[in-house]
């Protein structure tokens, strides 16, 4: 028994992934294409167990209206879209036509493209185009780290009571304890902001590079 999360070796990580809902051919191919075509950026893709968790969580919450900030090549959006309730919609925000071009192909292949709307442009601006009402059931933030406070500020007021915001990379590979660059410092400050935000109840989980789940009151 242990009172804290255990570290994952490569072998234990493979065991963990293998004993959850396994990645299907579409997810495996998307992950492989991302690694092959974008080797320097491939680490931006969510971990396989994180993708499975997103589908599970979105399905568990009965999500019908969702937002994603930071789409990259589409693994997280594909995972979220697969978990949506009947008639559910996911609006994705990204700045790259190149990366999301890959995403579009895999959304089509996974037969979830009809559930997803992609908006290209700086999310700090495009998020403001969303309705000014509390209607969102779920949001996933995984974009430029210095922008997290802006995205948080736009999303929290638009979440319905009980809606959940998931925020990725909140541990920065442990560097939040001793920030080394502007992104580390931005995340450390953002984590403190979430902790102090009385509008939410939040928990930080050691999934992949750290995942915060915040339930809006």
What was the pLDDT predicted at 21? 84
The CA distance from 91 to 115, in Å, is 9
- Number of alpha helices (DSSP H) and beta strands (DSSP E) in the chain: 8, 7
User: For residue range 148-207, what is the model confidence (pLDDT) as tens digits?
Assistant: 999 999 999 999 999 999 999 999 999 999 999 999 999 999 999 999 999 999 999 999
pTM attached to this predicted model = 0.95
Beta pairing class for 116-120 and 89-94: parallel
Q: How far is CA 166 from the centre of its chain?
A: 6
User: For residue range 52-108, what is the model confidence (pLDDT) as tens digits?
Assistant: 999 999 999 999 999 999 999 999 999 999 999 999 999 999 999 999 999 999 999
What was the pLDDT predicted at 1? 66
What was the pLDDT predicted at 36? 96
Nearest to 114 by CA among 138, 133, 88, 95: 88
Between 164 and 18, the higher pLDDT residue: 164
Please, are residues 38 and 49 in contact by the beta-carbon 8 Å criterion? no
């Amino acid at each position: 028994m242990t009172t804290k999360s255990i570290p994952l070796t490569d072998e234990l990580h493979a065991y963990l992934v293998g004993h959850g809902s396994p990645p299907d051919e579409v997810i495996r191919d998307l992950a492989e294409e991302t690694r092959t075509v974008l080797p320097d950026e491939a680490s931006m893709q969510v971990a396989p167990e994180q993708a499975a968790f997103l589908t599970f969580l979105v399905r568990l919450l009965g999500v019908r209206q969702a937002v994603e900030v930071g789409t990259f090549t589409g693994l997280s959006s594909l995972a979220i879209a697969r978990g949506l309730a009947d008639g559910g919609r996911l609006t994705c925000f990204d700045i790259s036509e190149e990366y999301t071009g890959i995403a579009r192909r895999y959304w089509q292949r996974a037969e979830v493209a009809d559930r997803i709307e992609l908006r290209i442009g700086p999310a700090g601006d495009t998020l403001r185009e969303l309705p000014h009402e509390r209607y969102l059931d779920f949001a996933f933030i995984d974009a430029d780290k210095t922008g997290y406070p802006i995205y948080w500020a736009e999303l929290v007021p638009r979440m319905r009571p009980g809606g959940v915001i998931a925020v990725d990379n909140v541990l920065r590979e442990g560097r939040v304890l001793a920030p080394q660059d502007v992104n580390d410092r931005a995340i450390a400050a953002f984590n403190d902001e979430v902790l102090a935000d009385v509008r939410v109840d939040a928990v930080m989980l050691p999934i992949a590079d750290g995942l915060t789940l915040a339930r809006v009151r």
